[in-house]
Amino acid sequence: MEKVIQVNDVKAWYGSLQTLKGISLEIFKNRVTAIIGPSGCGKSTFIRCLNRMHEVVPGAKVEGKILINKTDIYSSQVDPVEIRRKIGMVFQKPNPFPTMTIYNNVASGLKLNGVKNKRVLDESVEKSLRRAALWDEVKDRLNHSGMSLSGGQQQRLCIARALAVEPDILLMDEPASALDPISTLRIEELVQELKEQYTIVIVTHNMQQAARISDYTAFLLNGELIEYDITENIFTKPTDKRTEDYITGRFG
């Protein structure tokens, strides 16, 4: 199977607080990889290292090597902005741009990167919204504000926005944690559909969710990778006692 992301002994800090203590793993193409673990275990930090978003927080620091499609994204010749363009990201809380319409929200990545051709933009907006399973709900009001949508729709709008720049990889940082159960279900279905075309890394604190949607699961604890395996193995026959404790504790 093709490896898309190779993470090599990555360490990360917020100021003097070390949140990742040497993580190494490989992420495979067109698979959903879930990162699970208790709050504060470093799972959000980890995913933010993958598109160099960790370093935008003042005082944050990263060490180690991450290869994406064989390119070392932390090499000094690499522009972090380029990396972020190639990787889509969806955040915990839906964050559509409040001053923009639905259309412009989706087109924002392309527009602000210099795409001006109206036809290209129109096609891209429609396609991205279709992929995010939002097109039918918003096609008649593309000129309304993105804020006029419900929370679940806003999150799918953010997914469409991330897809519009045509990334290969989609990072999702607890994308359903602020949503109601029905919206959550829609996001989960969407993840399943999207993996046909994208490599998805998803952080979740909800283990059932990880079990339902992911192919691989990584369990993080206190900034260390405890176990990384096929999802089924993690949930049925974990090799590490701590994984088992965490999983059984949560499943009750």
Smallest gap from Cβ 18 to another protein, in A, equals 21
Element (H, E) at 155: helix 151-164
Q: Which is nearer to another protein, 103 or 219 (CB)?
A: 103
- Contacts of residue 131, defined as CB under 8 A and 6 or more positions apart, other chains included, come to 160, 163, 193, 194
Q: What x-and-dash track marks residues 153-192 binding another protein by CB under 8 A? A: -----x--xx--xx--------------------------
For residue 19, the minimal CB distance to another protein (Å) is 17
Nearer residue to another protein within complex by CB, 17 or 120: 120
Select the residue interacting with another protein from 75, 117, 208, 248 (CB under 8 A): 117
* Residue 98 or 181 having the CB closest to another protein: 98
Contact 164, 128 (CB under 8 A): yes
Q: According to CB under 8 A, which one of 95, 177, 222, 233 is a site residue for another protein?
A: 95
Q: Is 108 helix (H, G, I), strand (E, B) or coil?
A: helix
Beta strands per DSSP E along the chain: 3-14, 17-28, 32-36, 60-68, 71-72, 87-90, 169-173, 199-203, 216-221, 224-230
**127: contact with another protein by CB under 8 A:** yes
| Helix axes 151-164 and 102-112, enclosed angle (nearest 10) | 30
- The answer to the question of residue 113 lying near another protein (CB under 8 A) is yes
Whether 191 and 215 have beta carbons less than 8 Å apart is answered as: no
> Crossing angle for the helix pair 118-131 and 102-112, nearest 10 degrees?
120
Interface pattern 192-221 for another protein (x via CB under 8 A): ------------------------------
The site string for another protein over 27-66 (x = CB under 8 A, - otherwise) reads ------------------------x-x--x-x--------
Query: Where does 165-230 have alpha helices with state H?
Result: 181-194, 207-213
Under 8 Å between Cβ of 37 and 63:
no
Return residues touching another protein (CB under 8 A).
Answer: 51, 53, 56, 58, 79, 81-89, 91, 93, 95-99, 108-110, 112-117, 120, 123-124, 127, 145, 158, 161-162, 165-166
